[in-house]
Amino acid sequence: MIAIASDHGGYNLKEHIKAYLVAKGISCQDFGTDSTASCDYPVFGKAAAEAVASGACEKGIVICTTGIGISITANKVKGIRCALCADPLSAELTRRHNNANMLAMGAGMIGPNLAERIVDVFLTTDFEGGRHARRVSQIMDMEK
C-alpha cells in the first residue's frame, strides 16, 4: 500500500499518479486533499508520513507545487526519509543510497509523464545496504 497526499497545488498530479498506480495494480491510500481549493500542505503531508512511519503503508508519495514544503513536513515525522526528486536518477539513488521511504514531487516543476517515470523508479529500486546502511543508521540515530 502506497500513501499518497497533496495540497491544492499538487492535487491534479496526485490524482494522475493515483490513477496510474491503480492501473498498474498498486494499491494506494489517499490522505487528501480532495480538491484544488486552497489548503495547508502540512496537514496532508503529515498524515501520509505517519501512515508510512507506522507501517500501515509501505512507502509514500507527497506532492505540492514545488515539493519542498511537503517534503520538509514529511521529514518531521520520526522514521521518515522523504526525498524531493525531479528526475529518475535522483529517485533511483535516493532508494539505493538513502533507503528513502517517501517521495516528494513538485507539480509546478514536472509534468505527469516525468512524474510517472520517477514514481516507477522510486517504487522498483531496492536499497543497496552495505556502507549506505551505516550512513542511513547514522541519520536515523539523530532522531533519538
Under DSSP, is residue 72 helix (H, G, I), strand (E, B) or coil?
A: helix
Give the separation between CA 139 and CA 56, rounded to whole angstroms: 22
Instruction: Show the domain range for 9.
Output: 2-141
Give the separation between CA 107 and CA 68, rounded to whole angstroms: 11
Q: Over 90: is that where the pLDDT of 21 sits?
A: yes
Q: Over 90: is that where the pLDDT of 144 sits?
A: no
pTM: 0.97
Chain centroid offset of residue 76 CA = 13
Give the separation between CA 84 and CA 90, rounded to whole angstroms: 8
Which residues share a beta bridge with 91? none
Q: What are the pLDDT digits (tens) for 33-77? A: 999 999 999 999 999 999 999 999 999 999 999 999 999 999 999
Give the separation between CA 127 and CA 132, rounded to whole angstroms: 8
Mind telling me the catalytic residues?
64, 97
- Domain tally for the chain? 1
Q: What is the CATH number of the domain that holds 11?
A: 3.40.1400.10
